[in-house]
Amino acid sequence: MNRIIAIANQKGGCGKTTTAVNLATALANLNRKVLLIDLDPQGNASIHIGIKIYDLERSIYDVLVDPERMIKSVIMPTGINGLDIAPANIELSGAEIELVNVIGRESAFKDSLDDIDKEYDYILIDCPPSLGLLTLNALNTAHEVIIPVQTEYFALEGMRKLLKTIDVVTKRLNHNLIIAGILPTMYDARTKLSEEILKRIKEHFKDKVYKTRIRKNIRLAEAPSFGVSIEKYAPHSFGAQDYHKLAEEVISYE
Ligand code: ATP
Ligand code: MG
């Protein structure tokens, strides 16, 4: 059975996209067939993987607003063996408004995956920094959610709201949804603060916290501007090592 994993946290800049792209690539390198879905109007995951988002003929937007359109029709190859992408661009910001009065608007996305879910071992969904209709569609579709949490002072702010949303989705819409794990990101071993926050995250979420922590690594911040994953941009960097380790940890729960 395949695994559909949403990468979500309404907090901006906590490492969702970096995790979605580099975990997807690392899983593909471990011989898994992976689809990365960009569900953020910023289109950051698409840009990161080298897609020219302004020239797109079709994107995930078309899938959301047209009940007849299946996701298969917007999937593109990435140039990485085993990894495909369903890209997004700013057009997607209209979907949230257009869907408001549509019946079954929380399922607009889920139903479009029917024809492909057997083709991939992993489907990763990069969510936008909000708890609006796009994130709701992702949570309604996923089996699991990974929550990246930056090991910085305000990291846990807003977590209560996120967990409450996940709880409501689990009860009302998607009984299969589980929290796969809390992922500490941008960890800086040189600062006491990072260590302190990590300690608090672990106290709070106990065994739900991934063993892998993603260290702060400038290479991870540079890679997007070259339109390639960390494994391609700097294969020996801490960033590449950490995401490889995360992929192995994710696979260990198969
Ligand atoms: P948004 O909420 O806007 O979608 P996000 O949660 O997807 O943001 P990212 O875009 O992945 O967050 O990361 C925010 C910024 O931090 C980016 O510039 C990214 O390159 C950088 N970054 C992410 N992870 C790391 C890391 N481990 N070390 C250094 N820089 C990082
Ligand atoms: Mg992002």
Residue type, 103: I
3 state SS of 76? strand
Q: Which residues have any ligand 1 atom within 6 Å of their CB?
A: 12-18, 40, 42, 44, 129, 185-186, 214, 216-217, 220-221, 224
Measure 168 CA to ligand 2 centroid, in angstroms: 23
Q: What is the pLDDT of residue 194?
A: 94
pLDDT tens track for 214-242: 999 999 999 999 999 999 999 999 999 99
Q: What is the pLDDT of residue 155?
A: 85
CATH class, 3-251 region: alpha beta
Q: Where are the domains of the chain?
A: 3-251
pLDDT tens track for 66-121: 999 999 999 999 999 999 999 999 999 999 899 988 888 999 999 999 888 789 99
Structure tokens at 76: 């593109």
pLDDT tens track for 39-77: 999 999 999 999 999 989 999 999 999 999 999 999 999
Judge if pTM exceeds 0.85. Answer: yes
Nearest CA to ligand 1 atom 2: 12
User: What is the b/e burial string over 44-73, where b = at least 16 CB atoms within 10 angstroms of the residue's CB?
Assistant: bbbbbbbbebeebebbbbbbbbeeeebbee
CB within 8 A of 199, min separation 6: which ones?
Answer: none
Is the predicted pLDDT of residue 200 greater than 90, yes or no?
Answer: yes
